[in-house]
Amino acid sequence: MDSAVLLDLLGNENRRRILRLLSHKPCYVTEISEYLGVSPKAVIDHLRKLEDAGLIESHTDDRRRKYFHIARDVRLEVNVSRHGFGTKSAYPANPSLDIQGSCPHMHIDLELRSADGDRDGGGADGADAGVNGDAAADGVDDDRGDLAQLAAEFDELQDLENELSLAQRWVHGRMSDLLDRVNDRLGVDADSRFYAKLLAAVTSTDGSHRAVVDEVDADPEAVEDGLRRLADADLIARESDRWQLVG
């Protein structure tokens, strides 16, 4: 989903309130209208826009009453800083994603702690394992163990969610500080993120113009102009048709 479209949709307070309500339970138009304190006609208009964007969908019950519910999970990120503005939307990753391989800078303990230790069910030996009372008790123990494990996993993921939010704030602050320092080295206000990308590309490639262009993924002429500006600021120098950091 286009992040700009999503941002426009969520700019309306009533649409945000509708999504908040539907995140708790499916609702029908009259129910939403009473919750918002607006007319059913206005609610229908909001629902249509949310449905067209793919955020919600509807189903009809046995009494032919139409219920609306959240269609899919989506995450919207907004980044506002002295060095740029950007939005990004994303759907949850596939459960099979190799998080450790895809995110080498993160170190996450993916092992869920055991909720109840031995979950083989206890008390019944081979001779009386088929007794109805014991079998029922084993079933209850298994259900309790599964529920305890779900609760433990929720607790761990909630802690991880909070830690990731703190890490994002830390990265945002460090990035702003870094780009301020790039601006200071250039001597004037500039697109410091672009120049930081150029510097990173020079150090991570062989320094050739083609390699830098491919790494930055930008217009070759803009890259060439940017490299010349970095050279004028005595941050890089060209040697044998390859760029490298000064000093």
Domain ranges of the chain: 3-70, 192-245
Give CB contacts under 8 A, 24+ apart, made by 227-236.
Answer: 227/198, 227/202, 229/186, 229/190, 229/195, 230/186, 230/195, 230/198, 230/199, 233/185, 233/186, 233/187, 235/185, 235/186, 235/199, 236/199, 236/202
Mapping DSSP to helix (H, G, I), strand (E, B) and coil, where does residue 125 land?
coil
The yes-or-no answer to whether 3-70 and 192-245 have a common fold is yes
CATH architecture of the domain with range 192-245: Orthogonal Bundle (1.10)
Which CATH number is associated with domain 3-70? 1.10.10.10
The pTM is what? 0.68
Tokens of 170: 């830390």
Tens-digit pLDDT string for the chain (247 aa): 788 889 999 999 999 999 999 999 999 999 999 999 999 999 999 999 999 999 999 999 888 999 999 998 998 988 888 888 888 888 888 878 887 788 887 777 766 544 444 444 444 444 454 446 566 667 677 778 888 889 988 999 899 889 989 998 999 899 999 888 888 888 766 788 899 999 999 999 999 999 999 999 999 999 999 999 999 989 999 988 899 998 7
